[in-house]
Amino acid sequence: MSETTELTSQYAAQVTSDLERNLKEQERLHDEIGSLQAQLAALQHNHTILMNIQQALGVPALPADEPAAAVPAPRKRKALSGGARQKKAEKPTTPARKRADKKSTAKTTGTEPTLVDLVHAHLAGQSEPRSAAEIATALDQQHPERTVKTTVVRTTLEGLVARNQAQRARQGRSVFYTASDATKPAAPSGEAAQQPA
Protein backbone atom coordinates (compact mmCIF):
# COMPACT_ATOMS: atom_id res chain seq x y z
CA MET A 1 0.00 0.00 0.00
CA SER A 2 2.86 2.36 0.80
CA GLU A 3 4.41 1.66 -2.65
CA THR A 4 1.13 2.65 -4.31
CA THR A 5 1.00 5.85 -2.28
CA GLU A 6 4.61 6.61 -3.15
CA LEU A 7 3.99 5.98 -6.89
CA THR A 8 0.88 8.13 -6.78
CA SER A 9 2.78 10.99 -5.17
CA GLN A 10 5.56 10.67 -7.78
CA TYR A 11 3.04 10.72 -10.64
CA ALA A 12 1.24 13.65 -9.05
CA ALA A 13 4.53 15.59 -8.77
CA GLN A 14 5.42 14.75 -12.38
CA VAL A 15 1.97 15.79 -13.65
CA THR A 16 2.16 19.04 -11.67
CA SER A 17 5.59 19.75 -13.13
CA ASP A 18 4.37 18.96 -16.65
CA LEU A 19 1.34 21.20 -16.20
CA GLU A 20 3.57 24.09 -15.10
CA ARG A 21 5.83 23.63 -18.13
CA ASN A 22 2.78 23.41 -20.38
CA LEU A 23 1.34 26.66 -19.01
CA LYS A 24 4.68 28.46 -19.40
CA GLU A 25 4.95 27.25 -22.99
CA GLN A 26 1.38 28.39 -23.68
CA GLU A 27 2.20 31.83 -22.28
CA ARG A 28 5.37 32.04 -24.37
CA LEU A 29 3.50 31.08 -27.54
CA HIS A 30 0.68 33.48 -26.70
CA ASP A 31 3.22 36.31 -26.36
CA GLU A 32 4.87 35.25 -29.63
CA ILE A 33 1.51 35.21 -31.41
CA GLY A 34 0.76 38.66 -30.04
CA SER A 35 4.10 39.91 -31.33
CA LEU A 36 3.53 38.33 -34.75
CA GLN A 37 0.03 39.81 -34.92
CA ALA A 38 1.48 43.25 -34.11
CA GLN A 39 4.08 42.79 -36.87
CA LEU A 40 1.36 41.71 -39.28
CA ALA A 41 -0.77 44.72 -38.39
CA ALA A 42 2.21 47.02 -38.98
CA LEU A 43 2.93 45.36 -42.34
CA GLN A 44 -0.72 45.65 -43.37
CA HIS A 45 -0.71 49.33 -42.37
CA ASN A 46 2.47 49.90 -44.41
CA HIS A 47 0.90 47.98 -47.29
CA THR A 48 -2.14 50.28 -47.24
CA ILE A 49 0.08 53.37 -47.25
CA LEU A 50 2.19 51.98 -50.10
CA MET A 51 -0.92 51.09 -52.11
CA ASN A 52 -2.20 54.66 -51.67
CA ILE A 53 1.15 56.04 -52.83
CA GLN A 54 1.15 53.62 -55.76
CA GLN A 55 -2.34 54.77 -56.78
CA ALA A 56 -1.32 58.42 -56.42
CA LEU A 57 1.65 57.78 -58.73
CA GLY A 58 -0.62 56.04 -61.24
CA VAL A 59 1.35 52.78 -61.19
CA PRO A 60 -0.81 49.68 -61.83
CA ALA A 61 -1.23 47.30 -58.88
CA LEU A 62 0.91 44.15 -58.82
CA PRO A 63 -0.82 40.74 -58.74
CA ALA A 64 1.52 39.69 -55.88
CA ASP A 65 -0.51 41.90 -53.52
CA GLU A 66 -3.52 39.55 -53.59
CA PRO A 67 -2.22 36.72 -51.31
CA ALA A 68 -1.67 39.16 -48.41
CA ALA A 69 -5.42 39.09 -47.72
CA ALA A 70 -5.29 35.32 -47.11
CA VAL A 71 -2.63 35.49 -44.37
CA PRO A 72 -4.95 36.04 -41.34
CA ALA A 73 -6.96 32.84 -42.00
CA PRO A 74 -4.42 30.38 -40.45
CA ARG A 75 -4.62 32.18 -37.07
CA LYS A 76 -7.85 30.30 -36.34
CA ARG A 77 -5.89 27.06 -35.96
CA LYS A 78 -3.72 26.02 -33.02
CA ALA A 79 -1.22 28.63 -31.87
CA LEU A 80 1.95 26.77 -32.88
CA SER A 81 0.85 25.73 -36.35
CA GLY A 82 -0.65 29.17 -37.03
CA GLY A 83 2.60 30.91 -36.14
CA ALA A 84 4.67 28.46 -38.15
CA ARG A 85 2.38 28.75 -41.17
CA GLN A 86 2.43 32.53 -40.94
CA LYS A 87 6.24 32.60 -41.01
CA LYS A 88 6.28 30.33 -44.05
CA ALA A 89 3.73 32.49 -45.81
CA GLU A 90 5.80 35.66 -45.27
CA LYS A 91 9.08 34.31 -46.73
CA PRO A 92 8.01 33.64 -50.35
CA THR A 93 6.22 36.98 -50.64
CA THR A 94 9.39 39.08 -50.64
CA PRO A 95 11.20 37.41 -53.58
CA ALA A 96 7.96 37.32 -55.57
CA ARG A 97 7.54 41.04 -55.10
CA LYS A 98 11.17 41.67 -56.04
CA ARG A 99 10.71 39.62 -59.21
CA ALA A 100 7.46 41.42 -59.95
CA ASP A 101 9.13 44.79 -59.37
CA LYS A 102 11.97 43.85 -61.74
CA LYS A 103 9.48 42.66 -64.36
CA SER A 104 7.36 45.79 -64.06
CA THR A 105 10.49 47.96 -64.27
CA ALA A 106 11.59 46.10 -67.39
CA LYS A 107 8.15 46.51 -68.95
CA THR A 108 7.92 50.21 -68.20
CA THR A 109 11.44 51.07 -69.35
CA GLY A 110 11.60 48.44 -72.07
CA THR A 111 15.41 48.40 -71.86
CA GLU A 112 16.16 45.53 -69.48
CA PRO A 113 16.05 42.09 -71.13
CA THR A 114 15.19 39.00 -69.11
CA LEU A 115 17.86 36.59 -67.93
CA VAL A 116 16.53 34.00 -70.36
CA ASP A 117 17.04 36.45 -73.23
CA LEU A 118 20.55 37.32 -72.02
CA VAL A 119 21.59 33.67 -71.64
CA HIS A 120 20.14 32.68 -75.01
CA ALA A 121 21.77 35.65 -76.77
CA HIS A 122 25.11 34.84 -75.13
CA LEU A 123 24.90 31.21 -76.22
CA ALA A 124 23.93 32.20 -79.75
CA GLY A 125 27.00 34.44 -79.99
CA GLN A 126 29.43 31.68 -78.98
CA SER A 127 31.20 29.38 -81.41
CA GLU A 128 31.95 26.67 -78.83
CA PRO A 129 30.10 25.15 -75.84
CA ARG A 130 30.10 27.03 -72.53
CA SER A 131 29.54 25.93 -68.95
CA ALA A 132 26.97 27.60 -66.69
CA ALA A 133 29.80 29.14 -64.63
CA GLU A 134 31.43 30.63 -67.74
CA ILE A 135 28.12 32.08 -68.89
CA ALA A 136 27.37 33.50 -65.43
CA THR A 137 30.81 35.13 -65.28
CA ALA A 138 30.43 36.62 -68.76
CA LEU A 139 26.96 37.97 -68.03
CA ASP A 140 28.12 39.37 -64.70
CA GLN A 141 30.87 41.29 -66.51
CA GLN A 142 28.54 42.46 -69.28
CA HIS A 143 25.77 43.50 -66.87
CA PRO A 144 27.34 44.60 -63.55
CA GLU A 145 24.04 46.17 -62.45
CA ARG A 146 22.43 42.70 -62.29
CA THR A 147 23.13 39.95 -59.83
CA VAL A 148 23.91 36.84 -61.89
CA LYS A 149 24.29 33.58 -59.97
CA THR A 150 25.61 30.40 -61.50
CA THR A 151 22.76 28.30 -60.07
CA VAL A 152 20.16 30.59 -61.63
CA VAL A 153 21.98 30.54 -64.96
CA ARG A 154 22.13 26.72 -64.82
CA THR A 155 18.37 26.57 -64.17
CA THR A 156 17.77 28.99 -67.03
CA LEU A 157 19.94 26.88 -69.33
CA GLU A 158 18.03 23.73 -68.40
CA GLY A 159 14.82 25.58 -69.22
CA LEU A 160 16.23 26.48 -72.63
CA VAL A 161 17.21 22.83 -73.17
CA ALA A 162 13.68 21.75 -72.26
CA ARG A 163 12.29 24.15 -74.88
CA ASN A 164 14.83 22.97 -77.52
CA GLN A 165 16.45 26.42 -77.59
CA ALA A 166 19.76 25.04 -76.29
CA GLN A 167 21.67 21.77 -76.24
CA ARG A 168 23.42 20.09 -73.33
CA ALA A 169 26.60 18.04 -73.73
CA ARG A 170 28.44 16.20 -70.96
CA GLN A 171 32.23 15.96 -70.94
CA GLY A 172 33.25 13.92 -67.92
CA ARG A 173 31.64 15.55 -64.90
CA SER A 174 31.20 18.90 -66.66
CA VAL A 175 28.11 20.04 -68.55
CA PHE A 176 28.41 22.42 -71.48
CA TYR A 177 25.67 24.25 -73.37
CA THR A 178 25.29 25.52 -76.92
CA ALA A 179 22.46 27.35 -78.67
CA SER A 180 20.20 25.21 -80.86
CA ASP A 181 19.83 26.06 -84.52
CA ALA A 182 16.22 27.28 -84.73
CA THR A 183 15.95 26.41 -88.41
CA LYS A 184 17.07 22.79 -87.90
CA PRO A 185 15.54 21.44 -84.68
CA ALA A 186 15.90 17.77 -85.69
CA ALA A 187 19.61 17.87 -86.56
CA PRO A 188 20.89 19.12 -83.17
CA SER A 189 19.02 16.40 -81.26
CA GLY A 190 20.59 13.77 -83.52
CA GLU A 191 24.05 15.26 -82.95
CA ALA A 192 23.46 15.35 -79.19
CA ALA A 193 22.60 11.65 -79.27
CA GLN A 194 25.84 10.90 -81.15
CA GLN A 195 28.17 13.07 -79.01
CA PRO A 196 28.14 10.97 -75.77
CA ALA A 197 28.86 7.80 -77.79
> 76-88: per-residue pLDDT in tens?
545 444 444 445 5
Q: What is the pLDDT of residues 132-165, one digit of tens each?
A: 899 999 988 888 888 888 888 889 888 888 888 8
Q: Is the dihedral of CA 79, 85, 88, 92 positive or negative?
A: negative
Read off the pLDDT band of 196 (50, 70, 90). very low
DSSP string, 56-118: HHTPPPPGGGGGGGGTTGGGGS-HHHHHHHHHHHHHHHHHHHHHHHHHHHHHHH-----HHHH
At position 104, the amino acid (one-letter code) is S
Residue 181 clears pLDDT 50, i.e. is over it: yes
Higher pLDDT, 113 or 196: 113
pLDDT of residue 62: 62
Taking only the tens place, the pLDDT of each residue in 13-60 is 999 999 999 999 999 999 999 999 999 999 999 999 998 888 888 877
Confidence of residue 185 (pLDDT cuts 50, 70, 90): very low
What pTM did the predictor assign?
0.38
Q: What is the mean pLDDT of the chain?
A: 75
